[in-house]
Structure 1
Amino acid sequence: MRAVWSDHVIAEAPEEDLVRIEGNWYFPPSSIAEGVLESSDTPYTCAWKGAAQYFSIATPDGRFEDGAWSYPSPYPGSFERVGRDYSGFVAFSPGVEVG
């Protein structure tokens, strides 16, 4: 599967390597294109997953503020609900084509 924004592949991995949580595909950290994600200061904490880290997507064609997010250190109890450890996996906001 691929995540594409502004004609740039942001992430690519086999579907079996991804995790689906609440309708969003989460890509493993190793599948993210180098240099396209920049940390954001936007705060968010999910009641059952924990503190999120937001990222802006930066390509030569532009910038998508808070276009991606991750849970670097999810609550351990969420692993059972999700079915596996998804620490550091990255999901994308609407506007990024995932498929």
Structure 2
Amino acid sequence: MPTATFNGEVIADAEDVITIEGVAYFPPESVRLDCLEETATRTGCPWRGIATYYTVRVGDREERDAAWRYLEPKRKARRIAGWVAFWKGVEVQGVEGGLVE
């Protein structure tokens, strides 16, 4: 089962994820949203749209902009609307079973 772990705690686990360009996107219902705090950071992708970033916080540790998602993706990326991806200190494991785009 794909999981995302930060500071020793599982912050996301899902039966399946969507993997795009080597990045696993977790369905929002599988993510502990209480560990995420939206930041002002935004980036753009020509085919996915605008990504919204989040600080990941567990216990006394936090990592700014370590999670992101596309809240209103472009048409080609509609399947990942609201799904959450991680990096920068968040350990993602078990993504071999993900759906590859």
Q: Which has the higher contact order (CA 8 A, sep 6+)?
A: 2
Distance verdict in 2 for CA 1:46–1:5, change over 3 Å: same
Runs of 4+ in 1 over 4 A off after TM superposition: none
Choose between structure 1 and 2: higher strand proportion. 2
User: What TM-score comes out, normalization by structure 1 length?
Assistant: 0.87
How many residues end up aligned between the 2 structures?
92
* Superposition CA RMSD, Å: 1.1
Residue 75 (structure 1) shift: 0.2
Give 1:14-53 correspondences, 5 Å limit: 14-15=15-16, 18-53=17-52
| Amino acid paired to 1:22 | E
- The equivalent residue for 1:10 is 11
Give 1:65-80 correspondences, 5 Å limit: 65-79=64-78
Q: Which runs of 5+ in 2 are unaligned?
A: 94-101
User: What TM-score comes out, normalization by structure 2 length?
Assistant: 0.85
